[in-house]
Amino acid sequence: MTNLRAVAAVALTACLLLSGCSQEEDGAAASGDYTIWDPYPQFDDSSDWVKLLTTCGTDAGVTVKRTGYDTTDLTNKALLAAQQADSPDVLIVDNPVVSTLADAGVLTTTEEMKVDTTAVSPNLLAAGQIGGKTYGIPIGANTLALYYNKKILDDAKVDPAAIKDWASLTGALRKVKENGRKGITFSAIGTEEGSFQFLPWFWGSGANLTQLDSPQGVAALDLWTGWLKDGLAPNSVLNNTQTTSWQEFAAGDFAFSENGTWQLANAKKTGFEYGIIPIPSQAGGTAPAPTGGEFVTAPVQTETARYAVTEKLIACLSSADNAYATDTTLSYIAATDAVQQKQVAENEELAVWVEAVKAAKGRTSDDLGTKYPKISQPLWTAFQAALSGSAGPADALRTAQSTAAAATK
């Protein structure tokens, strides 16, 4: 893969030789317009988010030019812009993308940019780390937990507070089924969404993504396939996205739904009383669920004098007060303990989400970086095969491990 730092260096040399650009001109460039790209096209200029970007620019003495892109489109545009030495000054990207851009030489490190990450929860910061270096700072995080329908559980005489491990959860699902209602719905679609939803069970068994077919990994897939076999979860999970899974739960038919913080507003619209508990690990306690959410990063620039202002913009966006406002807007849990405490003080319902985020981990953590997508695809292929009955859990994961090992050599 082309090292874009080298490309940037060549471009700067060309500038010095052909254009006669001087250090003074570089300094002059560190004013005027600064570009920010983000994955929030749903927010227009009247939104609190864009107003914050504008304010951060004003405070830094510059004008912010912001563009919101779809997440996938943003990654492609960021790579292309880097190849053309035309990167934005600040780039906000989904956390699994950070390692891809860092590996391509697109991003500066937090050390280079003097970004203070000391207050950030290490498990959240890990999603932006590769090769011992940190590339950016998380703006916040979302993750997964279990929503429940209180009336269905009450009718089945199930106490959600007693659900602490897989055995107690499966026991609760059996009681619900015996009472004539439906158990749990989730997304097991053959895409990254499915892997995202399987990971709490996979990690909650003690399994590691470097060994998909471990006994622990097989136990996690046995759990899911057992639920389908026993009628505790519907066959629709094979095609469910997280949205369609939520729709099943919102219709009032299911006791549980595995879903994320982003459904909190919709939960209030269901018309029934609901609650939320963390996803349990096999042996008890909160399972490590994967983190969603974005990192604020600083792409490599040919005009390095611009970094001084970029540092101010990142500091503004990641400050405690602004992080609180932003995370509220995005339905995120903050990346620092202090802001998390403020969130819970304002809304007690967020306590369970803070607990889930504290136990969570990035999909690219454990220094997997760009290897993660090459592992995730065989993983979702495996649980699709097992849930559809075309292969047993052990065989499906054995095949997945062989595929992933070959792809990540």
- Per residue in 156-213, pLDDT tens? 999 999 999 999 999 999 999 999 999 999 999 999 999 999 999 999 999 999 999 9
Output the domain CATH number for residue 161: 3.40.190.10
Q: Sort strands 144-149 and 182-185 into parallel, antiparallel or unpaired.
A: unpaired
Give the separation between CA 381 and CA 27, rounded to whole angstroms. 52
- Is residue 109 domain-shared with residue 170, that is, in the same domain? no
**CA–CA separation, 300 and 86 (whole Å):** 9
The boundaries of the domain holding residue 192 are 144-291+365-407
Bridge partners (DSSP) listed for residue 275: 148
Q: What is the distance between the alpha carbons of residues 128 and 315, in angstroms, rounded to a whole number?
A: 17
Do the domain assignments include residue 347?
Answer: no
Are 267 and 317 members of one domain?
no
Whether 237 is in a domain gets the answer: yes
**CA pair distance 336, 119, nearest whole angstrom:** 6
For 221-244, the pLDDT digits (tens) are: 999 999 999 999 999 999 999 999
Same domain, 173 and 320: no
CB 140 within 8 A of CB 334: yes
14 lies in the same domain as 163: no
Which strand (E) or helix (H) includes residue 378? Answer: helix 372-388
Is beta strand 274-277 parallel, antiparallel or unpaired with respect to 144-149? antiparallel
What residues contact residue 285 under an 8 Å CB cut-off, 6+ apart?
Answer: 164, 165, 359
In the DSSP assignment, the letter for residue 238 is G
Domain count, the chain: 2
Residue in the structure block whose two tokens are 């545009």? 77
pLDDT one-digit tens code per residue, 106-131: 999 999 999 999 999 999 999 999 99
Same domain, yes or no: 12 and 56: yes
Using DSSP bridges, classify how beta strands 62-68 and 32-38 pair: parallel, antiparallel or unpaired: parallel
Torsion of CA 117, 123, 127, 133, to 10 degrees: 50
Give yes or no: residues 59 and 183 share one domain. no
Domain membership of residue 264 (yes or no) is: yes
Same domain, 274 and 369: yes
Please answer whether residues 147 and 276 qualify as being in contact, where contact means their C-beta atoms are separated by less than 8 angstroms.
yes
Which runs of E-coded beta strand occur in 217-253?
Answer: none
Regarding whether 177 and 218 lie in a shared domain, the answer is yes
In a domain, 359, yes or no: no
**155 lies in the same domain as 80:** no
261 & 380 share domain: yes
- pLDDT bin (cut points 50, 70, 90) of residue 133 is very high
* 381: pLDDT strictly greater than 50: yes
Q: How many C-beta atoms surround the C-beta of residue 100 within 10 A?
A: 22
Do the domain assignments include residue 354? no
Q: For residue 105, how many other CB atoms are within 10 A of its CB?
A: 18
Helix (H, G, I), strand (E, B) or coil at 392: coil
**Does one domain contain both 60 and 171?**
no
Determine the Cα–Cα distance for residues 66 and 203; give it in Å rounded to an integer.
38
Which backbone phi and psi does 4 adopt, to 5 degrees? Answer: -75, -15
Q: Is residue 202 a part of any domain in this protein?
A: yes
Is-above-0.85 flag for pTM?
yes
**β 254-260/182-185 pair status:** parallel
Across residues 26-45, what is the average pLDDT?
Answer: 79
Residue 353 in any domain: the answer is no
264-291 pLDDT tens trace: 999 999 999 999 999 999 999 999 999 9
